[in-house]
Amino acid sequence: MPQQPTAENISDSEVLVQPPARVVLFNDEVHTFEEVIGQLIKALRCDSSKAEVLTWEVHNSGKAAVFEGPMDECVKVSGVLEEIALHTQIQI
């Protein structure tokens, strides 16, 4: 019978290590650049120049990863972007 792991033989790093998730923002023909830039500033708490660079990347490539981090943070960022009906996807 295989031995089940116990709390004594699992290190903190094994329990806590998890690859970061990312928020992908998709381009659309509905929102203006100003709307997307404003929502990125709100979601990411970044400056306007970073938001503008990300917006152009989304526009030119059709999509872009706009945030990478823990899943709970990705959910928050995605939720803020979707407040104005932007289309996002969280990838792991």
Question: In angstroms, rounded to a whole number, what is the distance separating the alpha carbons of residues 33 and 81?
Answer: 13
By residue range, what is the domain housing residue 25?
18-91
In a domain, 4, yes or no: no
Exposed, middle or buried by CB within 10 Å (0-12, 13-18, 19+), for 87? Answer: middle
Q: Is 5 among the domain residues? A: no
Domain annotation covers residue 13: no
pLDDT tens, position by position, 12-40: 555 556 789 999 999 999 999 999 999 99
Who has greater pLDDT, 29 or 7? 29
* Alpha-carbon 62 to chain mean position: 16
| CATH number for the domain harbouring residue 60 | 3.30.1390.10
Count of domains for the chain = 1
Q: Is residue 87 part of a domain?
A: yes
12 inside domain? no
58 part of a folded domain = yes
Residue 7 lies in a domain: no
